[in-house]
Amino acid sequence: MVAADLSREQVLEWLAKVPDPEIPVLSILDLGIVRDIDMNDGVTVSLTPTYSGCPATEVIESSVLRELRQRGLDDIAVKRVLSPPWTSDWISEAGREKMRRYGIAPPSANKPVACPQCRSTETERVSEFGSTACKAAYRCRDCLEPFEYFKCL
């Protein structure tokens, strides 16, 4: 299939099926890392990693290529865009809600971190480091559940 036969909306629909490998309930669209889709000469998807050293970057790029190849596209490329750097502000509202339901507190600049289980803001950071560099370990003082918080970047 050639890019001339496609719409940008169709490519976005396919990319919405590419999960983040670290938080699989989120798509790369939910995370806001898809910066552009250029369909002038084949299909080039521009991605901005959540941070320059993110170990999931290459996995995501491979997943994008695989998804589009499975859809019959041959002339495809992924472009890594580092500027402007990604910010957690780019996470969609739908993505933030998916994080909450998954048990991860979404980033909340200038607000107390709310427990994704009971919504209490009586929480405390247990460790600056969670299961990945972009998350911190927290505990709720009300329901006593541990959870991760996706850091503001």
pLDDT tens for 54-78 read 889 999 999 999 999 999 998 999 9
Which DSSP state fits 112?
P
**Global pTM value:** 0.86
First to last CA, the chain: 38
- pLDDT at 4 exceeding the cut of 90: no
Residue ranges covered by each domain of the chain: 3-86, 93-150
**Mean per-residue pLDDT of the chain:** 93
What pLDDT shows up at residue 139? 98
Residue 116 CB burial class (10 angstroms; 0-12, 13-18, ≥19):
buried
Return the exposure string of 133-150: e unless at least 16 CB atoms fall within 10 Å of the residue's CB, then b. bbbbbbbbeeeeeebbbb
- pLDDT at 3 exceeding the cut of 90: no
What pLDDT shows up at residue 136? 95
Q: The domain 3-86: what is its CATH number?
A: 3.30.300.130
What pLDDT shows up at residue 51? 85
